[in-house]
């Protein structure tokens, strides 16, 4: 029988192999819920894929997984086992995806304490056979707790994207999210501002219901970029509920182009970070 120490070393070797095939990991996070973080993660992943990247999407929201529904994955879809070691990711819209939603029913509450949820994330991240990916997008739960710290400790995250609305209370929490990533030495690639403006479908008048310019101010305060400012648009919500996100369903729509522009900026930021990292010089 395999000893516990041997088992742990074996699991560690599996995880090293799996993540070695993933070039970049990007965390999409928010300080609070309800700001459109998962919508941003899903559409960003699809935008990157349309730009020619091989993309995976991990739903790290253990308590409230949502990407299965947003990608139209049928209920009770379960991942296959690979070599009795790994999960085979579920393919959806060309993305390799994994979520707690694939392992439980939609009526199962995850009544777990923090360490259990963190352990579940570690398993989903490190025991999924992602294959060769250019980018793995991780849809984080809201807040700054165990899940975020586990990801920072167990994976080499290339950068984080903070999602917010222009509302003052959301911006307050967005700042906390940025501060957390900076404390664990994960670069903040930029800020995405959702629900920035509502355009009346009858007269075309634009109104800043939740405030104006908040995302740009937070980005400027931390020396990062405002990656995009998206409208409060009915089509974004409808397409997510239908399981066909805006980037897939509305390819020629301005909103889809905005997500693609955000994806291009993200890849530009990652490339700039790579070019800033010069060779290590050692004197002996």
Q: Which residue has the tokens 């939740």?
A: 210
Nearest to 66 by CA among 34, 100, 92, 32: 100
Three-state SS at 214: helix
The conformation of residue 100, written as its DSSP 8-state character, comes to G
Question: Distance from CA of residue 125 to its chain's centroid?
Answer: 13
Distance CA 100, CA 106 (A): 10
Q: Is 69 exposed, middle or buried (0-12, 13-18, 19+ CB in 10 A)?
A: middle
The tens-digit pLDDT sequence of the chain (284 residues) is 444 344 344 444 445 556 888 999 999 999 888 899 999 999 999 999 999 999 999 999 888 899 999 999 998 899 998 888 899 999 999 999 999 999 887 767 666 777 888 888 889 999 999 999 999 999 998 887 788 888 888 889 999 999 999 988 889 999 999 999 999 999 999 999 999 887 777 777 777 777 788 899 999 999 999 999 998 888 888 888 899 999 998 888 889 999 999 999 999 999 998 876 544 444 44
Q: Domain segments of the chain: what residues?
A: 30-274
Both tokens of residue 172? Answer: 């307050």
Q: Do residues 161 and 29 lie in contact, with contact meaning Cβ atoms separated by under 8 Å?
A: yes
The token pair at 114 is 């923090």
Compute CA distances 164 → 5, 29, 61, 65, 103, whole Å.
Answer: 43, 9, 17, 19, 29
Of 276, 170, 156, residue with least CA distance to 218:
170
Contact by Cβ (8 Å): 59, 27: no
What element of type H or E holds 194? none
Judge contact between 70 and 242, C-beta under 8 A.
no
Q: What 8-state DSSP symbol labels residue 168?
A: H
Please report which helix (H) or strand (E) contains residue 23, including its range: strand 22-29
* Alpha-carbon dihedral 255, 256, 257, 263, rounded to 10 degrees: 120
Q: Just give the CATH number of 30-274.
A: 3.40.50.300
| Tally of residues, the chain | 284
Question: Considering the entire predicted model, what is its pTM?
Answer: 0.87
Residue-level pLDDT at 261: 96
């Amino acid at each position: 029988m395999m000893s516990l120490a041997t088992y742990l070393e074996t699991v560690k070797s599996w995880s090293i192999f799996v993540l070695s095939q993933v070039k970049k990991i990007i965390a999409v996070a928010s300080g609070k819920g309800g700001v459109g973080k998962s919508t941003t993660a899903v559409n960003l992943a699809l935008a990157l894929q349309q730009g020619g990247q091989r993309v995976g999407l991990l739903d790290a929201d253990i308590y409230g997984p949502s990407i299965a529904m947003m990608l139209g994955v049928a209920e009770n879809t379960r991942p296959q086992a690979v070599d009795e070691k790994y999960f085979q990711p579920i393919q959806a819209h060309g993305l390799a995806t994994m979520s707690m939603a694939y392992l439980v029913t939609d009526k199962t509450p995850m009544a777990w304490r923090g360490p259990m949820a963190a352990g579940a994330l570690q398993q989903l991240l490190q025991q999924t056979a992602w294959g060769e990916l250019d980018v793995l997008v991780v849809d984080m739960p809201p807040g700054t707790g165990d899940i975020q710290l586990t990801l920072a400790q167990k994976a080499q995250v290339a950068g984080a994207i903070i999602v917010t609305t222009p509302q003052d209370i959301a911006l307050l929490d967005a700042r906390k999210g940025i501060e957390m990533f900076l404390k664990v030495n994960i670069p903040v690639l930029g800020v995405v501002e959702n629900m920035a403006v509502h355009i009346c479908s009858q007269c075309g008048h634009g109104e800043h219901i939740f405030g104006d310019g908040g995302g740009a101010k937070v980005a400027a305060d931390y020396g990062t970029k405002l990656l995009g400012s998206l409208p409060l648009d009915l089509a974004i919500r409808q397409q997510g509920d239908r399981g066909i996100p805006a980037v897939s369903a509305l390819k020629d729509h301005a909103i889809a182009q905005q997500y693609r522009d955000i994806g291009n900026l993200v890849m530009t930021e990652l490339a700039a970070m790579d070019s800033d990292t010069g060779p290590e010089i050692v004197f002996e």
